[in-house]
Amino acid sequence: MARGCLCCVKYMLFLFNLLFWLGGCGLLGVGVWLSVSQGSFATLSPSFPSISAANLIITLGAVIMVTGFLGCLGAIKENKCLLLSVSENARQDLKEGLALYSTNNNAGLRNAWNTIQTEWHCCGVNGYTDWHTALQEKVVPDHCCQNIYQDCGRNATNQFWTRGCYEKVEEWLDDNKHLLGTIAMCVLVIQLLGMAFSMTLYQQIHRSGKKYEA
């Protein structure tokens, strides 16, 4: 009976590990795909120029753990200072990245901002005026225009997207918080079950070892 229970737990633990392994393969596939097309999605942050979208997949787990820990700590402790500092640091870092938009050796960053502003219908971090400060003149990238054409960003009377990309991302996260929460809960349940099966398997092996010694 104990032996059958041990086998059952062992195979269940194997199944959970297999699921995690398949998840790793999925991330690897995404990383390979991004490395092929990373010309469109490169780093937006000047603080970490070596982190492209493809390289980001490698450190995704660690980044999510650290960020999630800080976020949870700030939420549980109701530490507004911690939560605000994380948000403001990210916002400021993105603003600093705008200044590198026009430089010759940052085509990846430029393509990333162009794609984001076109797809999300946003401009700058907090708004289109961020570009005025970054570029030191009252112009915006052409991809901030609602109707894109050559040098439309230099036309002061043109219609620009007025909402900042940071706000659009926050809005998307808020709209999809239930979906993201469900995914997080599923991952948490799988991890807890994996821990439970691991402990059960350990106890069964420990007990079986004692019986053999007796």
Position 65 scores a pLDDT of 47
**Which residues touch 192 (CB under 8 Å, ≥6 apart)?**
none
Q: Is residue 50 part of a domain?
A: yes
Contact 137, 66 (CB under 8 A): no
- 207 vs 16, which has greater pLDDT? 207
Contact 42, 50 (CB under 8 A): no
Q: Is residue 45 part of a domain?
A: yes
Q: Is residue 180 part of a domain?
A: no
- Does 57 score more than 60 pLDDT? no
- 108 vs 152, which has greater pLDDT? 152
* Number of structural domains in the chain: 1
Q: Which tens digit of pLDDT belongs to each residue from 177-201?
A: 777 667 666 766 665 565 565 566 5
Share of the chain above pLDDT 70, in %: 37
- Does 155 score more than 60 pLDDT? yes
Q: What's the mean per-residue pLDDT of the chain?
A: 66
Q: Is residue 63 part of a domain?
A: yes
Mean pLDDT score, 22-44 = 56
Position 138 scores a pLDDT of 87
Sheet strands (E) in 122-189: none
Mean pLDDT score, 140-160 = 84
Distances (CA, A) of 153 to 55, 106, 130, 138: 32, 19, 13, 9
Kindly give the residue spans of alpha helices, DSSP state H, lying in 45-176. 53-58, 60-76, 80-98, 107-120, 129-135, 165-175
Q: Is residue 133 part of a domain?
A: no
- 129 vs 34, which has greater pLDDT? 129
Residue 22: pLDDT band with limits 50, 70, 90: low
Range of the domain at 93: 27-100
Q: Is residue 86 part of a domain?
A: yes
- 175 vs 74, which has greater pLDDT? 175
Residues in the chain: 214
User: Model-level pTM?
Assistant: 0.50
Q: Is residue 31 part of a domain?
A: yes
- Does 16 score more than 60 pLDDT? no
